[in-house]
Amino acid sequence: MIFNEDQRREIDELLSGNMNQPVKVVYFTQDQPSLELPVQVEVTPCEYCTETEEMLKELAGLSGKLELEVYDYIKDKDKVEQYGIEGVPALALVGEKDYGIRYYGIPSGYEFSALLDGLINVSKGETKLTDDTRRALAEIKEPVHLRVFVTPT
């Protein structure tokens, strides 16, 4: 159990009170290296993959509007390519469409709140950005790839 009883209730209230449309959380993990792997295959162990998956499964269990899909970073190459995944653990938040939102790492601490916010925004299909910001963003016609580096504390 990742979340205690109070946390489960809080999450449930927050999500059920704010989510509108279903959101798909597409999670990429990696089997831990085993001795059966040929030695020439270099696989970096994924320190937080198991814990992240456990957290997401609990989270998905708290809301009927959250659907969790789990893929393997090594084996599910087509999905890795489809979602443009660059490492694990990784998750994509997909609502009415794939907005291009990815989170790499275990979303703990402050980042967990950011994840819940993201789920709610994607579920509603709307953001809290100001009208000015929206107008300015709408003028951008070229591809923009943002990588935001964060820490969980």
Partner 1 sequence: MAFQMAMENDNVKADAFEASEFPDMAMRFSVMAVPKTVINDKTSVEGAVPEAAMVEQLKQAVGG
Can you give the binding site for partner 1, defined by CB under 8 A? 47-48, 84, 86-87, 89, 93, 99-107, 111, 114, 118, 121-122, 125-130, 132-134, 136-152
Task: Give the shortest CB-25-to-partner 1 separation in angstroms.
Answer: 13
CB nearer partner 1, residue 8 or residue 79? 79
CB nearer partner 1, residue 38 or residue 45? 45
Choose among 19, 24, 21, 148: nearest CA to 98. 24
- Dig out the tokens for 2 from the structure: 């990742």
Measured in residues, the chain has a length of 153
- Phi and psi at residue 143, to the nearest 5°: -65, 135
CB nearer partner 1, residue 35 or residue 130? 130
Cα–Cα distance for residue pair 65/95, rounded to 1 Å: 10
